[in-house]
Chain A
């Protein structure tokens, strides 16, 4: 039995990335019933802008803020221009429209930033400590801490603030939310903005921890979706935990020779298994009556 301890540690970091993406996706879905496939792409473009700025000598903090601003604005643009026009369409259609947005962003990213290797180094990577036989850099700790903070922060927002209340109302009963005096367009915009900011944050972390490459960053949304699926597209704590567990399972498979090569399928297999298992009880019909 090979030593899995270093891989437990890297797995938590990987899983935090999945969890972070998952959280952003779930927040948005709860408010707007939209699964946003462009979540990763918006973050990727933000990270690329930050990379450009840092390369031009702009102070790092400014560049990171720029990343968040870019991804928030992109997300908001879609949320305010396209999403309202699809308000009464079915869930699958809404999701597919975001595929279009993802392709648009992805194509732009590949066009404007030709596909050469780039790296984004966050200062937290300079500091680290040893645990379980492997050196953990600060950025990984940051990822985990951020997941916890974001999870807690968003839960607080949804439970304790007015806008959060409206958001939950919209999620529960989109057709009647208007009648209750909820400014659905405004609340929806807030949801898109929050999701965009989280996407930008994810983008920065992933760019540092994995690589700054627009296709990879865009498709990390699929692993984030896997975490979101485990969270039933509604529970933030479950999404976070699910993401981390998936990351750990995937990493821990690395030292086992027979399966190591295929460990990348872990998030997808987990998601499919989860969906298949849950749909046996017809549970997945609950929120999809609008179909």
Chain B
């Protein structure tokens, strides 16, 4: 990769924000909310993958939560077989899920947007069936690692992050790193290639861009993120169950990423917040959690019809209006807009 002009200001801001949240949030929130925020960040990592595919390449992948499940599954299976350090587990889960992502992206490379959405939805439904049927590893033997009787094993958190507040900090740091990873891609060759491809594949090819490579790269990256998210999720709950990775979850998270704003990393995080924190808030207020599902659905329709940049995008527009004062507001220029 060529030398990268990395905005040091952005990096510094990230460090400051992460440091602040590390201190402030465990202080501010009780045990219940802290565990909700951990889950929010886990799915923010997955949301980054969704947003990346949709905004940079115009591809709708409806199976990303299932891939989080795959990441979690891999984490548990490997841990119960090999007992690796947690950091290694996270990376291995990411890599294996990434390979799976690459594998399943190969037949989809020439598919149109609609058929890609259909195929990924089929995959989500298929994964749901498989998770329901074979369960998640719990210390048993064999490939599935599941046993009905016998001693049940649970994933151990790393010794530096045993308690909930400490684990929160660890997940926060990893989430920030994952988001930075995506933004790094944006500002270097993959990002440029993706922008070209989404404008026109023919033009990209004419410019010497290897379309197959970069499309696969995007899928692989998104799957890697889901794998990491799965590992962190497994570390949070210490065992996993199929009910967290149903097809509907992939659909809802996808919708919420669009609602939050697929073109902007703030939107990805916002999508995850809507996915996990908003229902928790409803629960706290004694309201039915299904209201969140309804809001997600209605918001998605509104988003598609009227506000394709999502909440984050609309806010960015307003902020941009504010900043430029007399200058006309910048109009969205299509997929791949800089964040």
Give residues in A with beta carbon < 8 Å to B.
Answer: 35, 37, 82, 85-86, 89-93, 95-97, 99-108, 110-111, 215, 218-219, 222-223, 225-226, 229, 261-262, 264-265, 267-269, 271-272, 275-276, 279, 282, 284-285, 288, 291
Contacts and interface: CB of A to CB of B under 8 A. Distances in A.
A219 B117 contact: no
Given A102-B297, A111-B290, A264 B114 contact: no
Contacts of A111: 288, 290-291, 294
Interface string B119-161: 1011101100110111000000000000000000000000000
Given A105-B297, A106-B293, A285-B112, 11 more contacts: A91-B113, A95-B117, A99-B255, A104-B298, A108-B294, A222-B122, A229-B118, A268-B129, A275-B115, A279-B111, A284-B115
A103 B300 contact: yes
**A103, A110, A222 — which one has the most chain B CB atoms within 10 A of its CB?**
A103
B293 A110 contact: yes
B300 A100 contact: yes
A103 B112 contact: no
B136 to A, nearest CB: 15
B316 to A, nearest CB: 21
A90 B113 CA distance: 8
B110 interface: yes
B248 interface: yes
B129 A264 contact: yes
B107 interface: yes
Contacts of A86: 304-305
Contact of A226 (B113, B122, B133, B291): B122
B254 interface: yes
Given A219-B248, A268-B123, A272-B122, A100 B111 contact: no
Nearest to B287: A111
Nearest to B295: A107
B48 interface: no
A92 B59 CA distance: 9
B126 A103 contact: no
B300 A272 contact: no
A102 B60 CA distance: 17
Interface string B300-315: 1101110000000000
A223 B255 CA distance: 21
Nearest to A35: B114
A103 B123 contact: no
Interface string B246-275: 011001101100100000000000000000
A222 B125 contact: yes
A92 B294 contact: no
Which of B291, B294, B297 has the most C-beta atoms of chain A within 10 angstroms of its own C-beta? B297
A86 to B, nearest CB: 7
9 contacts: A37-B251, A96-B254, A99-B251, A222-B125, A262-B133, A265-B125, A272-B123, A288-B113, A288-B115
B296 interface: yes
Contacts of B68: none
Given A107-B291, A107-B293, A110-B290, A268 B110 contact: no
Residue from B118, B134, B294, B295 with most neighbouring chain A CB atoms (10 Å): B118
A97 B300 contact: yes
B196 interface: no
B116 interface: yes
A107 B292 CA distance: 8
Interface in B18-61: 60
Contacts of B301: 82, 97, 100-101, 104
B125 A268 contact: yes
Nearest 4 CB-CB pairs, A to B?
A107-B293, A103-B297, A104-B297, A100-B300
B134 A261 contact: yes
Contacts of B114: 35, 90-92, 95, 288, 291
Nearest to B302: A100
Nearest to B301: A100
Nearest to A271: B122
A221 to B, nearest CB: 10
A284 B112 contact: yes
A286 to B, nearest CB: 10
Nearest to A103: B297
Contacts of B122: 222, 225-226, 267-269, 271-272
A246 B114 CA distance: 22
A265 B126 contact: yes
A35 B248 CA distance: 17
Interface string B2-14: 0000000000000
A103 B252 contact: yes
Contact of A275 (B118, B248, B305): B118
Contacts of B300: 96-97, 99-100, 103
A60 B119 CA distance: 39
A103 B119 CA distance: 19
Nearest to B121: A222
Nearest to B251: A99
A268 B126 contact: yes
